[in-house]
Amino acid sequence: QVQLVESGGDSVQSGGSLRLSCVASGFTVEDYAVAWFRQAPGMERKIVSCISSANIIPYDFQKGRFAISRDTAKNTVYLQMNNLMPEDTGVYYCAAVFGPGSNWCPSTARDGIDYWGAGTQVTVSS
């Protein structure tokens, strides 16, 4: 059974840190691009970061505050989030895509996502 399970969400104050985990089962994460998306209330789901199957990380929207990594032995992708800000608040979703190339990553939630996790809530207070 294919599954993505996120964990690590919490309520923190501005400047705090969290590490989100995305554990995959039923497929191998190194064969897929795995991305993190954030959805704020009333907003569309937007990409936060991604790691391609070739271990390429094409985006740095948070200017060094966030770091995505992969542990193939644990079949898990992580998102380390530092210096959190209130605008980082939202539900964080893990997504996997069997992309058209090993360097490819999705840029939107409409880019043919194969699997979604159920999400984990991150709340950052000022």
- Per-residue pLDDT tens over the stretch 65-99: 999 999 999 999 999 999 999 999 999 999 999 98
Give residue 6's pLDDT: 98
Per-residue pLDDT tens over the stretch 3-17: 999 999 999 999 999
Residue 123: the pLDDT is 98
pLDDT band at 24 (very low <50, low <70, confident <90, very high): very high
CB count, 10 Å around CB of 105? 21
Distance (Å, rounded) from C-alpha 49 to C-alpha 22? 13
- In sequence order, what are the residues at sequence separation of 6 or more whose Cβ sits closer than 8 angstroms to the Cβ of residue 98? 31, 32, 33, 114
